[in-house]
Structure 1
Amino acid sequence: MAKILVLFYSTWGHVQTLAEEVAFGAGERGESEVFVKRVPETMAEETLVRIGGLVNSPYDVASPGELSEYDAIIFGTPTRFGNMSSQMRTFLDQTGEIWSNGGLIGKIGSVFVSTASQHGGHETTIISFHTTLLHHGMLIAGVPYSCPELSGASEVTGGSPYGAGTIAGGDGARLPSARERAIARFQGQHVASLAVRLFG
């Protein structure tokens, strides 16, 4: 049975919502064991409260050392100026021992994101995230165009062949749409299918 981790950071809940959809999709395979965890928060709690951020997430905090226990890791992060969040970066910067031991070589890595605007860095964040995964020797999976929600232009939507995504809006009021949720579920299904084929 393939062991899959959905690992995310979320400030206001948009990425957490997508993480839940990704995990749901990955679990639909039935031949995989799916875990959802978050990276540690680095902002002070009073700052999070002041900006209306997530203070009490129901998900356990992951430790860098456990990543090698999984066959596939699907990472979720908000975009910060076209790159991953500092919380995710700080977490990944603590994986040097796993890197030196080759603990993630041959494992599957995939990424999903949230941005404030339609052109706010979905693709650059995922592609720049891939650099870290490649240094770890991971096999990268995106979202193939067999996902029907990737095609069409009838509405503003996140998501690309690089990975699922959502647009939060400038004030964060926009929630992930049905189409964005569907792409996230598809990404989970796709990664789980590959993981089962390779490790199941």
Structure 2
Amino acid sequence: MSTQILVLYYSAYGHIETMAYAIAEGAKQTGANVQVKRVPETVPQEVAKQNGFKLNQVAPIADPKELANYDAIVLGTGTRFGRISTQMANFLDRTGGLWAKGSLIGKVGAVFTCSGTQHAGQELTNLCLITNLLHYGMVIVGCPFSFHGLSKIDEVTGGTPYGASTIAGPDNSRPVSQNEIEGGEFFGNHIAQITNKLTRF
């Protein structure tokens, strides 16, 4: 059977959504079966509209119970003052049953994020997500510097060794850059390769 990977995200303005599909594309290149899903929005729809949220995202809503069905789970959310979004936190807070049963122990976990500016808590947010995965007993996969885009200094760009990232701009108008897309694809491919090796045993 092919490796089963879930890319699970929360995206207010579409940047994390774009990265989720880039990561999924990279993982699919290895032959993995990849599902892209999102966590529920907790902001009232009228408030979300007033604040320009991207409400036409096609990814289905995930159920916490289904996480146990995957060999690898990749979590993505925007940074909130160096922390994760309330929407992602709310979803993860509903996984206590999985934790109690040890359902995610030994599975692969990885993370990605987005911030408004270059120095706005990306690495800390990724580490906050990783903390959740460690409590589940998961095997953490980061983004190695063999992705040379992590070392670029000729442009403003996301990308961290703790997980892929992108920059939305202060007004959320900056599109995901080519380097960030390539970083997402590389990251997804790397996650899937590690998962393939682990699931052979």
TM-score by length of structure 2 reads 0.97
Amino acid at match of 1:63: D
How many residues in Structure 1 have an aligned counterpart in Structure 2?
199
C-alpha separation between the residues in 2 aligned to 1:119 and 1:152? 15
Show structure 2 runs of 5+ residues with no match: none
In structure 2, the partner of 1:2 is 3
Query: What is the correspondence of 1:93-172 to structure 2 with a 5 Å cutoff?
Result: 93-172=93-172
- Say whether residues 1:174 and 2:174 are aligned partners: yes
Supply the RMSD in Å over aligned alpha carbons: 0.7
> For residue 18 of structure 1, what is the aligned residue in structure 2?
19
The alpha carbon displacement at 1:198 in A equals 1.2
**5 Å matches for 1:64-75?**
64-75=64-75
Give the 3-state SS of the residue equivalent to 1:36 in structure 2. Answer: strand
SS at match of 1:59: coil
Deviation string 1:16-54 (CA, Å, 9 cap, x unpaired) is 000010000000001x11000000000000011111112
SS of 1:94 mapped into structure 2: helix
1:177-188 aligned at under 5 Å gives the runs 177-188=177-188
CA distance in structure 2 between the aligned counterparts of 1:54 and 1:100, rounded to whole angstroms: 35
How far apart in 1 are the matches of 2:168 and 2:56?
20
**Structure 1 spans left out of the alignment, 5+ residues:** none
Determine helix, strand or coil for the equivalent of 2:123: helix
Secondary structure, counterpart of 2:94 in structure 1: coil
Identical-residue share of aligned pairs (%): 48
Superposed displacement of residue 189, structure 1: 0.3
